Amino acid sequence: MVKIGDAFIRSLEKPIILWLLSHKPRHGYELIAEFKRLTGRTLKPSIVYPFLHRLEKEGFASSQWTIKGKRKIRHYALTKNGEELLRKVRETFTKPFKEFLMEIIGENNINTKFTHTT
C-alpha cells in the first residue's frame, strides 16, 4: 500500500521540477539529485525524462546539448511560456499552501511572503 506522504510528494514532483528549472538550466540527473536533496526522496528517471520531453514538445522548455568530457549532456531551461506556466502553478498553490503551513508550522515560524528569488 502506498503511504500518504509518498503520494503527496509524488503529486508535487512536476511542480518542483518546474521550480528547479526556473533557477537555472539543468540536466535530468541534476534535477533528480536536487529533488533528493530537497525532499529526501528519489525521483525516478521514468518521471523526469518524459516530463522534460513533454515540456519541450509543448513549448514550455528548450534544451541544449553540451559536451562534458566524452559525454553529451542535455540541459533544459524554461521558456517564457514555461515561466508563465510556473506563475500559474504558483497562483494555484500559494494561498492553500501558505494557510496550510501557517497552521501546521505556526505563523511565527514561517516566512509569510511566498516570493520567488533566483
Average pLDDT over residues 79-84: 97
Q: pTM, whole model, 2 decimals?
A: 0.76
Q: What is the domain-level CATH number for residue 53?
A: 1.10.10.10
Q: Could you tell me the residue range of the domain that residue 49 belongs to? A: 4-82
| 99 is a domain residue | no
In three-state form (DSSP H/G/I as H, E/B as E, the rest C), the secondary structure along 14-73 is: HHHHHHHHHHCCECHHHHHHHHHHHHCCCCCHHHHHHHHHHHHHCCCEEEEEEEECCEEE
Sign of the C-alpha dihedral, residues 87, 93, 94, 95? positive
Name the domain count of the chain. Answer: 1
| 35 is a domain residue | yes
| pLDDT per position as a tens digit, 22-79 | 999 999 999 999 999 998 889 999 999 999 999 999 999 999 999 989 999 999 999 9
Question: CA–CA separation, 27 vs 65, rounded Å?
Answer: 10
Q: Strand, helix or coil at 116?
A: coil
Q: Cell digits for 38?
A: 530537497
Q: Which residue has the higher pLDDT, 73 or 102?
A: 73
| 106 is a domain residue | no
